[in-house]
Homo-oligomer: A and B are copies of this chain.
Amino acid sequence: MSETSKPTFTVIGAGMIGVLYGAQLQYAGYDVTYLFHHHANEVAKSGIEVDFDSGNVVLPDVKVTSKHQDLTPTDVVLVSLRTSDNYLLSQLLPPALKKDSIVVMLQNGMGNEEDARRLLGSDSHDWSDVRICRGLPFVLAEQLGPGHIKHDQFGQVTFGVPGVKAPDWLTGVVDCFQRAKIPTAVTDNLQLTIWEKLALNVPANGLPVLFHASIGEIASDPAMTSQWLDLMKEVQKIAVADGYDLADDFISGMYEKSKGMPFYPSMMRHYDAKKSMELNSIYDRPLQIAKEKGISVPATELLSGVLEMLDARNTGKVPPKS
């Protein structure tokens, strides 16, 4: 990453999260290129807009493409694909990379950095100097149209690298986010932060898919309150067995907060839009660790299986029989 000039950015997978943060960086003066899956032409014409309570970020001129082959190397690459599409990274990442780029996995869930490292490893280039970190977003927003996002609540991005203390090179990226007025945090224990977020995500992402109800409605419904807490406690059990001290206080506090969240999670929005859900990073990997550690988590297993079967039918991988 260049020390002498402003870092340049690529957003890979310009959905709600990618546009939200990419636009704030561009608005702060950084050069940002967006890789859209759909609607690249429309967005190139209409620009990008993000609605905040404090006013709108309007960007009439944006660098947009739908062809990853047209990307050029930048200092920072923000990956905001749905994690179920991370397998595409072996093709999408290389055109945007130079030897010392920083890749920020701007995603939820577990194992995403390992995905990116493994998929880069399948390229014939030597990408071993590329640095990969997490930018764990805690934000609620909605997509009003192509390139048009409405910010609802929160917004903090927590930066870290799995398995190690936050390295010095993170500072360069974090500085950019801060200059763009994006709330940031840096953690020396990314894995614990990921487990904490998963304890919320396991009930809060999957259950709304079943009910088309908000996080708060379900967490506070008498039929589901103990089940919601039990799912959180199962995640806690896996985390503790994995060596991360997810405290009882954290679980009970986050549970109380959940009851007051009148929001729909991204997983429900993906499901409703007939898109695949981020089951790999939110459910499969924690469950894989549970299996390896010999931890029994039947409620999480059941929810995960239900979601997997619903996902297959919803996305047409299995045609419904009736």
Contact = CB atoms under 8 A, between A and B. Distances in A.
B310 A210 contact: yes
Chain A interface size, under 10 / 10 to 19 / 20 to 34 / 35 or more: 20 to 34
Contacts of A318: 221
Interface stretch (A31-39, A118-126, A222-230): A222-230
Interface string A222-255: 0110110011001000000000000000000000
A51 interface: no
B309 A223 contact: yes
A301 B299 contact: yes
A221 B306 CA distance: 10
Copies of this chain, count: 2
A303 interface: yes
A24 interface: no
Interface in A151-178: none
Contacts of A207: 306
Interface stretch (A55-63, A87-95, A182-190, A211-219): A211-219
Contact of A302 (B213, B214, B227, B310): B227
A260 interface: no
8 contacts: A213-B322, A214-B321, A221-B318, A223-B309, A224-B308, A298-B298, A299-B301, A299-B302
Given A221-B318, A226-B301, 6 more contacts: A210-B310, A211-B310, A211-B313, A223-B306, A223-B308, A227-B306
